[in-house]
Amino acid sequence: MAKFIVSTKSKRKVADGNNYIYDFHSSSPNLGKEYWRCEKRRLCSVRIHTVTENNEPKIIHFSNEHLHPADVDSLNARKAVAEIKHEAVENIAASSRCKLAAKFTQL
C-alpha cells in the first residue's frame, strides 16, 4: 500500500509497499492523476501514476523495474522525522493556546 510522506524540505513524496520512494513530478487535474518518478532518478527510470482515494495514493500505473535496492532505513528515518515535526508543531500550538488563555485570565 502506498503512503504520502513529506520530505525534510516539505516536499510531497510517495512511498510504495516495497519501500521505494518517489518524487512528485507533475499532475493532470482534469484526469485527477499525479505523476511521480523514483527519487533515485539518476540511476533509475521508474515512474508511477497515482490517484488519491481517502487521502492516500493509489498506484494505477507502474513503469519499468528499479535498478537499485529499496532503502528501508532511510524511509523509516523520514517517517520518524515527519512524526517528530508534527509533534513539535502540535506542542507549539498547544503552548501558544495556554499562554493566550493565561493572559486572558489575568485581565
Instruction: For 50-106, write each residue's pLDDT tens digit.
Output: 999 998 999 999 998 999 999 888 888 877 887 888 788 777 777 766 666 666 676
User: Which ranges in the chain belong to alpha helices (H)?
Assistant: 72-106
The predicted pLDDT at position 97 comes to 67
pLDDT band with cut points at 50, 70 and 90 for residue 40:
very high
User: What's the pTM value of the predicted model, to 2 decimals?
Assistant: 0.72
Beta strand pairing call for 21-28 and 12-15: antiparallel
Give yes or no for a contact between 14 and 33, defined as CB atoms under 8 angstroms apart: no
The predicted pLDDT at position 14 comes to 93
